[in-house]
């Protein structure tokens, strides 16, 4: 786990009511072309085929009445307010009354047709599903193209808060889009299965072995990969079921992993996420505002083997590394607070570097040479935050966008919990591999984590209007 992560502080959202009746009865947020929460600057025009949304003038009580209008921090109603709203609604549920427009988490919408696929720079979502598929026996390029066409249409519909085109399950019938994103990628084995070996990027060569690996191959790799994220668990599950059903006879699930993050609005102000070890995790994540962000995270828009080393179909795409990292929480929690902080190199309370002093904050620059009165380094030589820094790895950087997971208690009676590590970079050899090799040689955190599954996927750029994800590969 590198000392990088995504801060949940996307651009300020705007809300726009659109005419017409909708199953959500909601005023909906739009999103900017970079798939972040919506802003009035640079908003894309309405897509052809978008279903209008609005608030009917009257009708039965909507459960969305229970949600108050979120303020700038995204805070929801307190417990007392929520209880009062429910009691009042229950007393008059048989009478027709005006439905309050959706104005909280459910209103968030992310665009599907964007330059880079959604779910990469989108702020952290509360719920996530990672799922890999293998093409069925006999399925090839034609079947894969039809599958990606179905998947893309379903993703577009669900991200807009619409039902799936075929046999919608109605799981998310009462909800808004809830910032749903669906992201698609191709694994190394996909290209041989479809006769497209010449189009396989060199960057998709298998990852090397690492000393911390204890990989379950049945839960690693795959022909196709789908990442689903949303701020509502039912919305995320609805998308998962739709994607699985769309696979039909063309592909079967190889593995699936489910994760979560803190819900937006659960803190008094946006802040860097915490992991299951209780640590602020991801202070030095690259920011889209940095001048070299696109260069480090995305394949150039004019990609070609002769320039970037990537095939043209990967233009504006990125490479995702997925690792299921088990945290040995029972061992970790036996450490004292100081021992935990020395392992990471940052204070547990606020993420400030150990070299910064009492007035330091999370963003205070880390002084790697500063020592205490006895001459010992304040940030230990094997501290995770020191070893994973880009300036300690030749500038190597990756955009980390993980989910935590907890899959119960294992046969030994310890938590099966940890991090579904997802990182994005233009070149995995210069990004993830460089940093992980350094961590492999002496990271203090390695005693308390175990890498149990792994995958590397080529994620093409976003689909243009009227196209599907991967069309440049499958029809080029």
Tens of pLDDT, residue by residue, the chain (476 residues): 655 443 334 433 433 333 333 434 343 344 444 554 443 333 333 333 333 333 333 333 333 333 333 333 333 323 333 333 323 333 333 345 566 565 688 999 999 999 999 999 999 999 999 999 999 999 999 999 999 999 999 999 999 999 999 999 999 999 999 999 999 999 999 999 999 999 999 999 999 999 889 999 999 999 999 999 999 999 999 999 999 999 999 999 999 999 999 998 888 888 899 999 999 998 889 999 999 999 999 999 987 666 668 999 999 999 999 999 999 999 999 999 999 999 999 999 999 999 999 999 999 999 999 999 999 999 999 999 999 998 888 888 899 999 999 999 999 999 999 999 999 999 999 999 999 999 999 999 999 999 999 999 999 999 999 999 999 999 98
CA–CA separation, 35 vs 202, rounded Å? 27
Q: How much is the pLDDT for 457?
A: 98
- DSSP 8-state symbol, 371: B
CA–CA separation, 121 vs 124, rounded Å? 9
Q: Beta strands of 71-176 (E only): which ranges?
A: 127-135
The answer to whether 184 and 461 have CB atoms below 8 angstroms apart is no
The sign of the torsion formed by the CA atoms of 253, 263, 342, 282 equals positive
CA–CA separation, 340 vs 319, rounded Å? 32
Residues in the chain: 476
Point out the residues that are catalytic: 281
Q: Which two tokens stand for residue 72?
A: 């700038």
- What is the pairing mode between strands 15-16 and 28-29? antiparallel
pTM, entire model: 0.81
Q: How much is the pLDDT for 366?
A: 96
- DSSP 8-state symbol, 380: -
Q: How much is the pLDDT for 313?
A: 97
Helix and strand totals (H; E) in the chain? 10, 11
- Kindly list the distances between the CA atom of residue 66 and the CA atoms of 78, 118, 390, in Å, as whole numbers in the listed order: 11, 29, 45
Q: How much is the pLDDT for 14?
A: 36
Alpha helices for 195-232 (secondary structure H): none
CA–CA separation, 130 vs 475, rounded Å? 26
Q: How much is the pLDDT for 22?
A: 41
């Amino acid at each position: 786990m590198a000392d990088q992560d995504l801060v949940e502080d996307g651009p300020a959202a705007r809300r726009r009511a659109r005419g017409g009746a909708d199953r959500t009865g909601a005023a909906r947020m739009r999103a900017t072309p970079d798939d972040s929460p919506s802003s009035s600057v640079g908003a894309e025009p309405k897509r052809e085929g978008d279903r209008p949304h609005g608030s009917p003038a009257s009708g039965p009580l909507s459960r969305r009445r229970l949600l108050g209008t979120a303020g700038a921090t995204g805070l929801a109603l307190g417990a007392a307010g929520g209880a009062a709203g429910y009691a009042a609604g229950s007393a008059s549920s048989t009478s027709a009354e005006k439905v309050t427009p959706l104005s909280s988490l459910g209103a968030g919408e992310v665009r599907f047709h964007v330059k880079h696929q959604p779910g990469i720079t989108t702020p952290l979502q509360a719920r996530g599903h990672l799922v890999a598929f293998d093409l069925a026996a006999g399925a090839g390029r034609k079947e894969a193209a039809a599958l990606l066409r179905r998947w893309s249409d379903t993703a577009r519909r669900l991200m807009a808060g619409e039902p799936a085109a075929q046999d919608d399950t109605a799981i998310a019938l009462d909800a808004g889009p809830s910032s749903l994103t669906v992201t698609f990628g191709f694994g190394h084995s996909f290209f041989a299965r479809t006769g497209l070996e010449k189009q396989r990027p060199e960057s998709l060569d298998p990852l090397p072995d690492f000393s911390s690996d204890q990989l379950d191959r049945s839960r690693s790799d795959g022909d196709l990969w789908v990442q689903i994220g949303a701020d509502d668990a039912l919305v995320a599950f609805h998308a998962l079921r739709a994607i699985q059903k769309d696979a039909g006879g063309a592909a079967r699930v190889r593995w699936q992993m489910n994760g979560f993050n803190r819900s937006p609005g659960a803190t008094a102000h946006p802040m860097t996420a915490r992991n299951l070890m209780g640590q602020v995790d991801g202070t030095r994540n690259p920011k889209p505002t940095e001048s070299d962000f696109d260069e480090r995270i995305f394949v150039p828009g004019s990609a070609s083997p002769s320039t970037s080393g990537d095939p043209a179909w990967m233009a504006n795409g990125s490479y995702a590394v997925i690792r299921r990292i088990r945290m040995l929480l029972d061992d970790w929690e036996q450490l004292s607070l100081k021992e935990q902080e020395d392992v990471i190199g940052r204070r547990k309370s606020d993420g400030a570097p150990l070299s910064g002093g009492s007035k330091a904050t999370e963003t205070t620059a880390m002084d790697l040479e500063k020592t205490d009165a006895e001459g010992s380094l304040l940030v230990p030589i094997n501290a995770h935050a020191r070893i994973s820094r880009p300036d300690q790895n030749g500038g190597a950087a990756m955009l980390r966008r993980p989910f935590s997971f907890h899959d119960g208690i294992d046969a030994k009676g310890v938590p099966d919990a940890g991090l579904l590590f997802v990182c994005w970079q233009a070149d995995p050899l210069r990004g993830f591999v460089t940093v992980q090799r350094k961590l492999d040689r002496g990271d203090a955190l390695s005693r308390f984590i175990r890498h149990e599954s792994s995958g590397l996927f080529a994620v093409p750029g976003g689909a243009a209007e009227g196209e599907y994800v991967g069309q440049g590969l499958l029809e080029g």
